[in-house]
């Protein structure tokens, strides 16, 4: 299997155009289906490649989950999803305004008036307070440990959340937190606002079965493994969406998802396979070119003794030709990255690079670390969606004398092994995601690098750089500090940024108004269907 895929990849080399991170901005800006006056009505069927996790604003995970739940729930702040190059503008959502104290510790939000949750319950400062208490206050009857753990990264420093008046809410942190509004606009592990009346009625575990927010669509039904159905909220406070109904079908198999689009069973799919782009376009389907904030990256299992040596980590980085990876695995529909801060991120620097591809330097570093040709071997763990990538890496790393075994698992099993119980021989795991917020660097360190055994205490310069950026009260220097922290992370070779995909979505010929924004999700309220 691996040999066949490799041969196919080599053949594609002649066709694929090379791309680079520096060119990402030029390629961004994809939208689809312009022309004609928007029409109201009808339903859009979306093919998801992952089963969403809980439709609970504080328990949700995976980007495919938020592509569903963002139609149900809203935050105090949102990103402008018509921004295609990034960084996205921040816009009012359930808050109409916000301000910060001079010391950067206290944020005050003016809440939108006249908003109601889907069951008619009022949205007000008390509702926000119950959301805050659910994830921070063990004394609250509906405190949820699962949610609290997910949000601890951002709300762990919260000293107090308080109701100022019916439409004003205040957060006070122990240390400056200038990135807070953009964090609130994100998808997972943030304070998206749910309806407290729902968890008070059904309990914390029951909330996901009765998801209720303030968003443009209301929950109708869910059949795990099959579909989730939403219906337009007739009482939505904002501009009403064009479509009456959204149906999200769960179709993990790439070819089945492609066939469903070609057969007209679905209107929109994500994670388009590079080899399918030409087929789709030749048949009149839309594959907008754009750039989200997502990146594919590889993290080391630092519990494996080999990867406790920075020379080995650097050698693996220098042994991978990411430009070639973008051409061969993704048919040129990707940009190679040299930083964990991806395009679309507010601290993205197109000039940032870690280590250049240099197989001879990689071999030299391995020899210095005590690994002659063929002496280093490990396992790459990937979910099934990235099997071809793992096999490409397996073949490629032979070039520097490294022997690799590939293990592919379904998504839940992958997460359990990569993050929870790695085998001693595991060396790399393949991960996806990436935020538009500068604090993403801290998140990836805390939730992906450190949990895999990387001892941050042994790298005080990196810890100090991250904390200096995270807790600065100097708004003018915040981005510069995050870039310096990223520079330190690159120097320590803590992970391997690989590529970001540029032809990620595909749509039916009659879908109009879709924008490929510089985030990991999209706005379906502007989408409509032509004849």
What local confidence, expressed as pLDDT, does residue 4 receive? 30
Question: Residue 90: which residues within 8 A CB-CB, separation 6 or more?
Answer: 77, 78, 79, 80, 181, 182, 185
What local confidence, expressed as pLDDT, does residue 11 receive? 28
What local confidence, expressed as pLDDT, does residue 61 receive? 82
Q: What are phi and psi of 23, to 5 degrees?
A: -90, 0
Residues 468 and 334 in one domain: yes
Residues 494 and 509 in one domain: no
Gyration radius (Cα) of the chain, Å: 23
Residues 144 and 168 in one domain: yes
Residues 495 and 509 in one domain: no
What local confidence, expressed as pLDDT, does residue 23 receive? 33
E strands in 286-371: 295-300, 334-336
What local confidence, expressed as pLDDT, does residue 447 receive? 87
Residue 23 in domain: no
Residues 360 and 402 in one domain: yes
Residues 237 and 102 in one domain: no
Residue 3 in domain: no
Question: Residue 467: which residues within 8 A CB-CB, separation 6 or more?
Answer: none
Query: Hey, how many other C-beta atoms are within 10 angstroms of the C-beta on 25?
Result: 17
- Say how far apart CA 36 and CA 1 lie, in whole Å: 47
Residue 230 in domain: yes
Q: Using alpha carbons, select from 445, 467, 459 the residue that is nearest to residue 491.
A: 459
Residues 193 and 162 in one domain: yes
Q: Is 385 helix (H, G, I), strand (E, B) or coil?
A: helix
Question: Residue 390: which residues within 8 A CB-CB, separation 6 or more?
Answer: 380, 382, 406, 408, 430
Domain final position from 154, 176, 207? 207
Q: Using alpha carbons, select from 233, 237, 264 the residue that is nearest to residue 249.
A: 264
- The domain in which residue 245 lies consists of 39-51+215-288+505-530
Residue 5 in domain: no
The dihedral through the CA atoms of 403, 408, 413, 416 has a sign that is: positive
Domain final position from 146, 173, 207? 207
Domain final position from 207, 230, 255? 207
Q: Give the DSSP letter string of 83-97.
A: -SSSSPPEEESSEEE
Residues 82 and 149 in one domain: yes
Residues 164 and 153 in one domain: yes
What is the total count of domains within the chain?
Answer: 3
Query: Hey, how many other C-beta atoms are within 10 angstroms of the C-beta on 263?
Result: 8
What count of residues does the chain have?
531
- Say how far apart CA 115 and CA 74 lie, in whole Å: 11
Ramachandran bin of 78, using left for φ above 0, alpha for ψ from -120 to 50, beta for the remaining angles: beta
Residues 188 and 99 in one domain: yes
Peptide bond into 87 cis (omega under 30): yes
Residue 67 in domain: no
CATH number for the domain including 497?
Answer: 3.10.105.10
Residues 263 and 150 in one domain: no
Residues 521 and 375 in one domain: no
- Say how far apart CA 82 and CA 11 lie, in whole Å: 37
What local confidence, expressed as pLDDT, does residue 437 receive? 94
CATH number for the domain including 520?
Answer: 3.40.190.10
User: What tens-digit pLDDT sequence spans the chain (531 residues)?
Assistant: 233 332 333 222 222 223 333 333 333 345 565 567 899 999 999 999 988 999 999 998 888 899 999 999 999 999 999 999 889 999 999 999 999 999 999 999 999 999 999 999 999 999 999 999 999 999 999 999 999 999 998 999 999 999 999 999 999 999 999 999 999 998 788 999 999 999 999 999 999 999 999 999 999 999 999 999 999 999 999 999 999 999 999 998 889 999 999 999 999 999 999 999 999 999 999 999 998 888 999 999 999 999 999 999 999 999 999 999 999 999 999 999 999 999 999 999 999 999 999 999 999 999 999 999 999 999 999 988 889 999 999 999 999 999 999 999 988 899 899 988 899 999 999 998 888 999 999 999 998 999 999 999 999 999 999 999 999 999 999 999 999 999 999 999 999 999 999 999 999 999 999 999 999 899 999 999 998
Q: Give 425's DSSP letter.
A: T
Long-range contacts of 369-377 (CB under 8 A, 24+ apart): 369/306, 369/309, 369/311, 369/312, 369/315, 371/306, 371/312, 371/401, 372/401, 373/401, 374/401, 374/403, 375/401, 376/306, 376/312, 376/401, 376/402, 376/403, 377/402, 377/403, 377/404, 377/405, 377/425
Q: Give the DSSP letter string of 455-502.
A: -GGG-HHHHHHHHHHHT---TTTHHHHHHHHHHHHHHHT-EEEEEEES
CATH number for the domain including 176?
Answer: 3.90.76.10
Judge contact between 158 and 171, C-beta under 8 A: yes
Residue 10 in domain: no
What local confidence, expressed as pLDDT, does residue 33 receive? 57
Residue 398 in domain: yes
Residue corresponding to tokens 């590079």? 274
CA atoms within a 13 Å half-sphere pointing along the CA-CB vector of 93: 25
Token reading at 282: 């030749």
| pTM for this predicted structure | 0.88
* Burial degree of 519 (CB within 10 A; 0-12, 13-18, 19+): buried
Residue 8 in domain: no
Q: Using alpha carbons, select from 307, 334, 319, 435 the residue that is nearest to residue 388.
A: 334
């Amino acid at each position: 299997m691996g040999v066949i895929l490799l041969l196919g990849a080599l053949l594609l080399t002649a066709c694929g155009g090379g791309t680079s991170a520096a060119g990402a901005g030029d390629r961004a800006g994809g939208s689809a289906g312009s022309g004609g006056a928007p029409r109201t009505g009808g339903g859009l069927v979306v093919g998801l490649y992952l089963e969403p996790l809980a439709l609970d604003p504080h328990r949700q995970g995976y980007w495919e989950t938020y592509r569903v739940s963002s139609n149900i729930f809203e935050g105090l702040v949102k990103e402008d999803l018509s921004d295609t190059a990034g960084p996205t503008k921040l816009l009012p959502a359930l808050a109409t305004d916000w301000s910060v104290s001079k010391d950067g510790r206290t944020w005050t939000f003016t809440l939108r008036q006249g908003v109601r949750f889907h069951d008619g319950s009022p949205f007000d400062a008390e509702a926000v307070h119950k959301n805050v208490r659910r994830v921070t206050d063990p004394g609250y009857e509906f405190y949820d440990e699962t949610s609290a753990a997910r949000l601890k990264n951002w709300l762990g420093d919260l000293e107090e959340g308080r109701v100022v008046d019916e439409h004003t809410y205040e957060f006070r942190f122990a240390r400056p937190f200038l990135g807070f509004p953009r964090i609130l606009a994100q998808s997972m592990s943030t304070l998206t606002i749910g309806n407290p009346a729902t968890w008070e009625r059904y309990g914390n575990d029951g909330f996901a079965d009765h998801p209720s927010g303030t968003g443009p669509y209301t929950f109708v039904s869910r059949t795990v493994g099959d579909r989730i159905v939403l219906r337009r909220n007739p009482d939505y406070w904002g501009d009403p969406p064009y479509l009456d109904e959204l149906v999200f079908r769960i179709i993990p198999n790439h070819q089945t998802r492609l066939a469903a689009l070609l057969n007209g069973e679905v209107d929109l799919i994500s994670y388009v396979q590079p080899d399918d782009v030409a087929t789709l376009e030749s048949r009149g389907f839309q594959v907008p070119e754009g750039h989200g904030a997502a990146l594919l990256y590889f993290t080391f299992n630092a519990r494996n003794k080999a990867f406790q040596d920075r020379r080995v980590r650097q050698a693996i980085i220098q042994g991978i030709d990411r430009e070639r990876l973008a051409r061969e695995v993704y048919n040129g529909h990707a940009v190679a990255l040299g930083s964990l801060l991806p395009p679309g991120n507010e601290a993205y620097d197109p000039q940032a690079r870690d280590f250049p591809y240099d197989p001879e330097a990689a071999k030299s570093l391995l020899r210095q670390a005590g690994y002659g040709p063929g002496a280093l071997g490990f396992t790459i763990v990937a979910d099934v969606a990235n099997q071809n990538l793992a096999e490409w890496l397996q073949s490629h790393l032979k070039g520097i004398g490294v022997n690799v075994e590939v293990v592919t698992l379904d998504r839940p099993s992958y997460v359990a092994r990569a993050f929870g119980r790695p085998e001693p021989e595991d060396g790399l795991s393949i991960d996806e995601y990436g935020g538009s917020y500068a604090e993403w660097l801290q998140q990836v360190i805390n939730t992906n690098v450190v949990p895999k055994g990387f001892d941050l205490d042994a790298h005080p310069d990196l810890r100090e750089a991250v904390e200096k950026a995270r807790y600065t009260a100097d708004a003018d220097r915040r981005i510069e500090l995050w870039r310096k922290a990223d520079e330190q992370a690159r120097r320590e070779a803590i992970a391997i940024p690989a590529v970001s995909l540029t032809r990620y979505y595909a749509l039916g010929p009659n879908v109009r108004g879709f924008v490929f924004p510089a985030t990991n999700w999209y706005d379906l309220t502007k989408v409509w269907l032509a004849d």
